[in-house]
Amino acid sequence: MPAIISGILAVVSLSFMAPSPHLSFTEMIRFLFVVLLLITLLLLINLFLNGMIIKMSYDATKGETSLSGSVKFVARKYGTLLLASIIFGIVVFLGPYIVAVIISIPLLILRELRFPAMFIPLIGSGILTIFMVIKLLFYGYAILVDGNSAIDSLKKSWNTTKGNWWRIFAIVLVFGIPIGIPAGLSDILPLSASAILTFLVTLFITPWLYSSLTFAYIQLKEAASVECCM
């Protein structure tokens, strides 16, 4: 059910994100503003829906899955989940590029940063972003499974992924490629075909990804507990 709702929202958003080629400058600014609001709203809703998938996947391991129970549980944890997501976004996506800009400014002033060396800070920040995404990926699972706070969930994710970075990266890569297919083909396929493909990918691949990561988190946490006891 969460995946169905997420798929419907993704399809509906496609019709709003296709700009008319005859928009004036003012109309284009308004269009971009509406798109920004729509993306923000979708992120907030999908945060809740994906949280439901995580919670239901975890409950399934105990044979206690409940749709209404997951709604109530995620609603109680949503504030913590949102705060952790904001911190995650700042640390993972904004932080590395701020560092790249800070490094680039004195080099540009001294004229020591020339093409193609000027892309080195940008490439480095991209690599750092990918590394941080994997290291902090399980913050939502720490909140919904273990009841950690926003800051503690990020710390828990960092410690849980220790020594397993490449394994988690492989899981994300396997599922990330098909999830990115609709966006990659959006300029080639008709809107109707792109909408159908987006819905199917969201319906099947997205819950598969989150449930797989839920089971991976449980296994990594249990393995970490065993190592601590030895």
Please give the residue range of the domain that contains residue 215.
2-229
The CA distance from 53 to 71, in Å, is 10
Degrees to nearest 5, angle at CA 14 with 8 and 18: 165
The CA distance from 93 to 91, in Å, is 6
Please tell me the total count of domains within the chain.
Answer: 1
Question: Over its length of 230 residues, how does the chain's per-residue pLDDT go in tens digits?
Answer: 888 988 888 888 777 766 566 666 676 787 778 778 888 888 999 999 999 999 999 998 888 888 888 999 999 999 999 999 999 999 998 877 777 777 766 666 655 555 555 667 777 788 889 999 999 999 999 999 999 999 999 999 999 888 889 999 999 998 888 887 777 776 777 777 888 888 888 888 888 999 999 999 999 888 766 665 55
User: Tokens for 197?
Assistant: 């493909």
- The pLDDT score that the predictor gives to residue 226 is 61
